[in-house]
A and B are shown apart, each in its own frame.
Chain A
Amino acid sequence: MASGKRLKIALVGNPNSGKSSLFNYLTGLNQKIGNFPGVTVEKKTGACSLLDGSVVEIVDFPGIYSIYPRSLDEQIVSEVLLDHHSSATPDKIIVVADATNLKRGLLLLTQVIDIGLPTILVLNMMDLVAKAGISYDLQLLSKKLGVPVVPINARNGIGIIELKTQLAATLPVSDKTIFSIWDDAKLPVKQLRDRVGIDNDYEAYLFLEQPQSLGFLNSERKNIVDQIRSEYKFFPGKFQGAETIHRYSFIQDLLNEITLKASVDQSWKKRSRQLDLILTHKVWGYLIFFGILFLIFQAIFAWATVPMDFIDGAFANLSRYISSVLPQGPLTSLLAEGVIPGLGGIIIFVPQIAILFAFISALEESGYMARVVFLMDKMMRKFGLNGKSVVPLMSGVACAIPAIMATRTIDNWKERTITIMVTPLMSCSARLPIFTILIALIVPDQKTLGFFNLQGLALMGLYLLGFVAAMGSAWVMKLIINVKERSYLMMELPTYRIPKWSNVGFTILEKTKAFVLQAGKVIMAITIILWVLGSYGPGDRMSKAEEVVQEQTKNMRLTEEGMADRIAAYKLENSYAGIIGKAIEPAIKPLGYDWKIGIALITSFAAREVFVGTIATIYSIGSVKEDDETTIKARMKEEINPDTGGPRFTPAVGFSLLVFYTFAMQCMSTLAVVYRETHGWKWPMIQLVYMTVLAYVSALAVYQILS
Chain B
Amino acid sequence: MTRLKNVSQMKPGEVGIVAGFTDDHLSVKLMEMGCLPGASVRFNFTAPFGDPVCISVSGYELSLRLDEAATISILN
B10 in the interface (beta carbon within 8 A): no
B-to-A contact residues, CB < 8 Å: 24-34, 36-37, 44-45, 47-49, 51-52, 54, 58-65, 68
Does A237 lie at the interface of the complex (its beta carbon under 8 Å from any beta carbon of B)?
Answer: yes
Pull 16 A–B residue pairs with CB atoms less than 8 Å apart, ordered by A: A68-B32, A104-B59, A240-B28, A244-B32, A248-B34, A277-B45, A281-B48, A282-B49, A286-B48, A374-B52, A377-B51, A387-B52, A486-B26, A490-B29, A490-B62, A494-B60
In the assembled complex, which residues on chain B have CB atoms less than 8 Å from the CB atom of A282? Answer: 48-49
How many A residues, CB 8 Å from partner?
41
Consensus secondary structure, chain B interface = mixed
Find out whether the CB atom of A100 lies under 8 angstroms from the CB atom of B59: yes
Chain A residues with CB below 8 A from B45, complex form: 276-277, 280
Query: Which of A104, A241, A273, A281 meets B33, CB within 8 Å?
Result: A104
Asked if A245 and B34 sit within 8 Å, CB to CB, the answer is no
Q: Which residues A460-512 have CB closer than 8 A to chain B?
A: 486, 488-495
B32 touches A377 (CB 8 A): no
Bound: A489/B68 CA distance, A: 8
The proximity string for A residues 149-175 relative to B, scoring 1 for CB distances below 8 Å and 0 otherwise, is 000000000000000000000000000
- Nearest CB of chain A from residue B30's CB, rounded to whole Å: 7
Q: Are A489 and B48 in contact (CB under 8 A)?
A: no
Contact among A245, A286, A488, A493 for B61, CB-based, below 8 A: A493
Using Cβ atoms and an 8 Å threshold, which residues of chain B touch A370? 63
Does A107 have its Cβ within 8 Å of any Cβ on chain B?
yes
A65 contacts B36, C-beta separation under 8 Å: no
Identify which of B24, B28, B30, B60 contacts A104 (C-beta below 8 A): B60
Select one of A101, A277, A286, A375 contacting B60, CB under 8 A. Answer: A101
A interface with B by C-beta (< 8 Å): 65-66, 68, 70, 100-101, 103-104, 107, 237, 240-241, 244-245, 248, 263, 273, 276-277, 280-282, 285-286, 370, 373-375, 377-379, 387, 486, 488-495
By a CB distance below 8 angstroms, the chain A residues around B61 are: 492-495
Shortest C-beta distance, A553 to chain B (Å), equals: 68
Beyond the given pairs A101-B58, A379-B49, A490-B30, 18 more chain A to chain B contacts, judged by CB atoms under 8 angstroms and listed by A's residue number, are: A68-B32, A70-B29, A100-B59, A104-B58, A107-B32, A245-B37, A276-B44, A276-B45, A277-B45, A280-B45, A375-B48, A377-B52, A378-B52, A488-B26, A488-B29, A490-B29, A492-B62, A493-B61
A486: contacting residue among B25, B33, B52, CB under 8 A: B25
- List chain A residues, Cβ under 8 A from B33: 65, 104, 490, 492
Q: Are B28 and A237 touching (Cβ within 8 A)?
A: yes
Residues of A within 8 A of B25 (CB): 486
Judging by beta carbons under 8 Å apart, are B24 and A493 in contact?
no
In the complex the two chains form, what is the Cα distance from A107 to B28 in whole Å? 13
- Give the CA-CA distance A418 to B36 in the complex, in Å: 33
Residues in A with CB closer than 8 Å to B31 are 241, 244-245, 248
| Structural contact, B24 and A248, CB atoms closer than 8 A | no
Residue of A nearest to B54 (CB): A493
- The interface residues of chain B lying within 8 Å CB-to-CB of A103 are 34, 58-59
Per a CB cutoff under 8 Å, which of A237, A378, A379, A489 touches B64? A489
Q: What's the Cα separation between A374 and B64 when bound, in Å?
A: 9
Complex: how many Å from CA A66 to CA B32? 7
Structural contact, A276 and B29, CB atoms closer than 8 A: no
What residue of chain A has the Cβ atom nearest to residue B25's Cβ?
A486
Interface centre among B34, B44, B54 (most CB of A within 10 A): B34
* CA A314 to CA B27, docked complex, whole Å: 58
Alpha-carbon separation in the docked complex, A489 to B64 (Å): 6
Check if B47 sits within 8 Å of A377, measured CB to CB.
yes
**Contact B28–A489 (Cβ < 8 Å):** no
- Smallest CB-CB A-B distances: 9 pairs: A282-B48, A493-B61, A66-B32, A244-B31, A104-B34, A241-B28, A489-B65, A378-B51, A378-B49
Which A residues lie within 8 Å of B54 (CB)?
276, 280, 374, 493
Whole-angstrom CA separation of A70 from B65 in the bound complex: 17
Distance of A379 Cα from B50 Cα, bound (Å): 11
